Chain A
Amino acid sequence: MSIQRIDPELCVGCGICVDTCIMDVIRMEEADHKAVIKYANDCMTCFCCELECPAKAISVSTQVKPPLSWG
């Protein structure tokens, strides 16, 4: 679960995902102006980056090991 990949070939460097991420997981790589995953462990899997990416460059996984909540 969580953000898996930002395809550097598809990323257009618009920065929408960088602003969108509530957890500030994604940052812009200054050198080539591409979005990169910096804090993958803090991703809360809200899908906002993937859905708002105009280039469809981001994939978020839906696979999850269920946490135990109620026994």
Chain B
Amino acid sequence: MSPDKLFSTDILVIGGGSAGLVAAIKSAEAGKKVILIEKSYVGKAGVSYFAWPDMEVYKEGIHDLKKHMDFVIQAGEYVNNRDWVEIILKETGARYQDLLSWGVPPRSISEEEKVRYSHVPKKISDKYAGELDHGAMAHKTWLGSLRTKASQTGVTILDRVMITDLIKQGDVIAGAVGFHTREGDFYCIKAKAVIISTGSGNFKTAGEPWHQWTADGEAMGYRAGAEITGKEFGHKDVGSLSAFPTVPKGVAKAHSCRIYINGEGNDYMKEYSLALHSNMLCAAFEIHAGRGPIYLDFDRLTPEDRQACVNFVDAWGRGYEVGKAIDYATVTGKREVIWGSGVGCTGWGWGGIRVNTKCESNIPGLYAAGDSAGTCAAGSMEAISGIGGAAVTGNIAAQNAVHYVGTAQELDIDDARIARLKEQVFSPLSRQGGFSPAYVTEILRSLMVPYFVVQIKKADRLQAAITMVSFVEEHLIPRMKAVDAHDLRMAHEVRNMALDAEIVLRSSLFRTESRGSHYREDYPRRDDPNWLAWTIAQRTCDGMVMSKQPVPQNWWPDLSKPYKERYTLRFPGE
């Protein structure tokens, strides 16, 4: 049996956001045959399209590398991969220059717009080694410019095609399969190397209309045997307001003004040193103590801060995607905060496919870039990430994939296997009855979003959630029914999200300590002797197996110092 669409390429890049576009362009510039696949539309896809188009640029001789690295590593509580922190800091400037040379319009940052950067709370910015330079791109159009450049460089772009699974021959990558989410054609792409740049995974409140972070790349990598790391961390940020989506981005500024109050009307944030880094955890602790709900009390804004919010809203909204949603009136009154609401205003997971500093996974021929890449640069608390990291990892993945395909052979995929894969991919379409993907998605979110599951964690609750998610994976997902190719996308997305959920829960259960964004009620302190280590989830014949990889000892904090000096942020009870 032959697939509806059969392609053959040197390098297949999956995911058309900033990391994927950079990887594809760099690979094509090196003379390789490249296919870039995106389930939405390349140049308007992924979280890149919603990201503030700006890279933080370190300049040698102007900025202090060690201070910046120390800041990131202290924030990440010593489980950062130091090599990656240094690489991202050092190489972002060159990647920004690449973008400009490829026709991306630069954007000068006005003083008014710089209000955004005061989003870094004052207490942090004092510790911060000073601001890095900003390499900014024109709103909205910058990704489109990269699409144009990719086409000009000879990249074959396939929009609205969702890759579901990787294909290996023996232990080596041989390609991938998927389907067109409109026409319903089955796609098989033979590739000597695959770069996964499909973004991250995360969960949002049930009932919210939000469909990103579906962990497609992580899931297909896991199923192929890739190691997944760091999934217990993430979920840092309180989203915004229940009035979604009339959420002005000024709310993000308001967050930094620390005008939260709890249900008792108290300004609880001042009780938490942790408030420096995690609005979300502090809010969850208040909720857990029965002092919810949490509000942003805009009436408490000082006149200066209110003006800053208004300025920020204006700067963000101009020429940007949520202009309609701006509501200046929200800078007064009280608005309830929920977790993970609002376009762009959310936490995300930092885990992903574990890669070395060449962006190589443990599978020959498989690379990861952007938020899909488990670089562990951020450690346990996000202080480095974003478009700069996406461009840096996209470039590194491309360089090494190009080198790899120089000696790799194209591998045959036999027809019987293709037929089997096609049957698997389309199985939800063949059922006459079953669970709708929308139902399964809501069930999964309801299991994952409660604060006592992924924010304030404990072994018994994590185990209970694993039991329920496993049931979803074993019983509901194999019985999903899709009505058309569009619905089939939703079915594969929720299949990936359920696997991501299991990895998040098992990684969280495995890390028997608290660190950064990962808080365990039953292990409420950092445990340096045992947990200066990274978690790894991997598929084996016995199911998902967790293991840990120690952080190199020369990256450890000074263990002779008292705990309270090593860690300045306190969890409750510390």
Residues of A participating in the B interface, judged by any CB pair closer than 8 Å = 1-2, 19-24, 27, 38-39, 41-48, 50-52, 60, 62, 64-71
Contact = CB atoms under 8 A, between A and B. Distances in A.
Given A38-B486, A62-B325, A70-B294, 10 more contacts: A1-B245, A21-B40, A22-B41, A22-B45, A42-B486, A44-B209, A44-B212, A62-B245, A65-B207, A66-B244
A44 B486 contact: no
A24 B40 contact: yes
Contacts of A44: 209-212
Contact of B293 (A23, A24, A39, A71): A71
Given A44-B211, A47-B322, A22 B40 contact: yes
Contacts of B242: 66-67, 69
A20 B283 CA distance: 35
Interface of B: 40-41, 44-45, 49-50, 140, 159-160, 181-182, 205-212, 239, 242-246, 283-284, 287, 292-294, 321-325, 336-341, 343, 438, 449, 451, 486, 489-490
B41 A70 contact: no
Given A62-B324, A70-B294, A45 B340 contact: no
B44 A67 contact: no
25 contacts: A1-B209, A19-B41, A20-B41, A22-B211, A24-B40, A24-B182, A39-B486, A42-B486, A44-B209, A47-B245, A47-B323, A48-B44, A48-B49, A48-B321, A52-B140, A62-B324, A62-B325, A64-B243, A66-B336, A69-B339, A70-B283, A70-B284, A70-B287, A70-B294, A71-B451
A5 to B, nearest CB: 14
A2 B340 contact: no
A41 B337 CA distance: 24
A36 to B, nearest CB: 14
- Most chain B CB inside 10 Å of its own CB: which residue of A39, A52, A71: A71
Contacts of B239: 69
A60 B343 CA distance: 14
B245 A71 contact: no
Nearest to B210: A44
Contacts of B322: 46-47, 51
Contacts of A41: 438
A69 B338 contact: yes
B50 A46 contact: yes
Nearest to B242: A66
A42 B324 contact: no
B206 A67 contact: yes
B250 to A, nearest CB: 16
Nearest to A66: B242
Given A19-B41, A24-B181, A69 B292 contact: no
A24 B325 contact: no
B72 to A, nearest CB: 30
B185 to A, nearest CB: 15
Contacts of A51: 321-324
A21 B209 CA distance: 13
A64 B321 CA distance: 19
B184 to A, nearest CB: 13
B205 A69 contact: yes
A69 B340 CA distance: 9
Contacts of B245: 1, 45-47, 62, 64
Contacts of A62: 245-246, 324-325
Contacts of A39: 486
B218 to A, nearest CB: 19
Contacts of B284: 70
B192 to A, nearest CB: 30
A67 B209 CA distance: 10
Contact of A69 (B45, B160, B243, B449): B449
A42 B39 CA distance: 15
B324 A19 contact: no
Contacts of A23: 40, 211
Contacts of B340: 69
A22 B40 CA distance: 5
Contacts of B338: 66-70
Given A47-B323, A62-B246, A70 B339 contact: yes
B208 A67 contact: yes
Given A22-B212, A47-B324, A47-B325, A67 B207 contact: yes
A70 B451 contact: yes
Contacts of A20: 41, 44
- Most chain B CB inside 10 Å of its own CB: which residue of A2, A39, A43, A67: A67
A8 to B, nearest CB: 21
Contacts of B210: 44
Contact of B243 (A21, A66, A70): A66
B107 to A, nearest CB: 18
Contacts of B211: 22-23, 42, 44
A31 to B, nearest CB: 17
A69 B486 contact: no
B490 A42 contact: yes
A65 B212 CA distance: 21
A13 B321 CA distance: 21
A71 B284 CA distance: 11
Contacts of B208: 67
A23 to B, nearest CB: 6
Nearest to A3: B209
Nearest to B487: A39
Contacts of B246: 62, 64
Contacts of A60: 324
A69 B44 contact: no
Contacts of B44: 19-20, 22, 48
Contacts of A67: 205-208, 242, 338, 341
A42 B41 CA distance: 16
Contacts of A48: 44, 49, 321
